Structure 1
């Protein structure tokens, strides 16, 4: 179960937001586990990515909670789109991050929740319902895993780094020269998808993640957690992430490692 971090001396309103975010994550996790490894009805979007009853069901319970408790805020969810796009405060919801993992019974699917004020992430949640791991990060307040503080590693050089290449098949398809450079970099490389590699970075287990072809509901909640844990997350040009970023991201534990990765992806 996700518990909010120590909320002493937080900016006005942040403590309440963290408490609600923890409750939302618990509700979403319970809903997701009710569907996991069950009989799922699967549809496919225009981009051929799958949508299950679980995606829609989890987002529905989250939206209901937000409508009851934050009626003046906007909501941007993967399945039902954007409501209140002009609002100062916006919640971002990815009900099942990793639908292909979910529908194949693989436990590394996540739940992502973000809270933005004027387009800037103030809070993020990475929930891993099947693993019972929940991270919450607040801007300037640190990050926790199941209520205990976590932080990134202190690795400074790519040659010493354990790093993940997310969406490697797409990177190979669209950027073969970059893929070749990635395969000849780092101390240890792993291939993966979705949010969990970024969560591992926030916990200090890995040092960097290269990711590709993401949507705002994929990267904005994650960026809040990574940066609260002391890391850096940007687009491939080194620019801060926002609602209009192009979905190519780098997560790194230290500024030196982040700079080296920027040089790598830009050739």
Structure 2
């Protein structure tokens, strides 16, 4: 957040999230590239003792009266549905990458109010990069404001996402540039927010904890992130799972969404 602005409640919440994620990152790095216990859960999704350790720490650090809690590694307490505000957390987003010793994993947290994120933090421990956003106050990386890239063209656009989706775009315009896979979905969307890539796609079944923080970062950086119907994402529903997602600068997002509607069969 710009230092000259008075600190709002949401900006202070974002900073609090960031402080907690930095400490959580220290926990994760203690296990990283070492001997670590891991196992699989539903849908063959990996989880490790580091995920649990970071989750336990963040819940202890962040929990407060009146706030609900939703985390990938905590049993879902449906009492969250009646909470006006709640924390949405992914202790390690990109666990497969983490376990493989790759750098593209992150620690993610957002505060959601009435279905939309109002404060967000994403921390990339390997790079020591901290991204913060607060509703109406912009987004920043390590204290420096960030913004999405401009333009509408598909040709030459740097796009990250699932291979099959990228192949469909290439069939439409071979001049698209496929970025290497970014295993943390939150980080993939955040790369759009900082203009490092021009657009990002996500397949169906991404969850609240993958998207809520990045959603706010993208919007506060001047972009848009929606489902393929162009609808804003709503969080803290009974089933915290979403359809296919598109993130980009607002003009490019509108152009790509229009293209996807015209070529609906290819993107169904």
TM over 0.5: yes
Aligned residue-pair number: 251
Q: CA deviation at 1:58?
A: 0.4
Q: CA deviation at 1:183?
A: 2.5
Match of 1:175 in 2: none
Spell out, residue by residue over 1:91-121, the C-alpha distance to the aligned partner (whole angstroms, 9 max, x if none).
Answer: 0000100000000000111111111111111
CA distance in 1, matches of 2:149, 2:111: 25
Match of 1:80 in 2: 74
Match of 2:3 in 1: 6
Q: CA deviation at 1:15?
A: 3.4
* 1:263 and 2:251 matched: no
Spell out, residue by residue over 1:127-149, the C-alpha distance to the aligned partner (whole angstroms, 9 max, x if none).
Answer: 11111111111111011111111
* 1:181 and 2:168 matched: yes
CA distance in 2, matches of 1:191, 1:239: 27
The farther-off stretch of 189-198 and 57-66 is: 189-198
Whether contact under 8 Å (1:59, 1:94) holds in the other structure is: yes
Whether contact under 8 Å (2:187, 2:214) holds in the other structure is: no
Q: CA deviation at 1:72?
A: 2.0
1:1-267 aligned within 5 A: 6=3, 8-11=5-8, 13-67=9-63, 70-83=64-77, 84-85=79-80, 86-165=82-161, 167-168=162-163, 172=164, 180-184=167-171, 185=173, 186-192=175-181, 193-194=183-184, 195-212=186-203, 213-243=205-235, 244=237, 246-253=242-249, 255-266=250-261, 267=263
C-alpha root-mean-square deviation of aligned residues, in Å? Answer: 1.9
Spell out, residue by residue over 1:172-194, the C-alpha distance to the aligned partner (whole angstroms, 9 max, x if none).
Answer: 3xxxxx55422233531124132
CA distance in 1, matches of 2:2, 2:142: 9
Name stretches of at least 5 consecutive residues in structure 2 with no aligned partner.
264-268
Name stretches of at least 5 consecutive residues in structure 1 with no aligned partner.
173-177
SS at match of 1:160: coil
Task: From the superposition, tell whether residues 160 and 183 of structure 1 become closer, same or farther in structure 2 (CA, over 3 Å).
Answer: closer
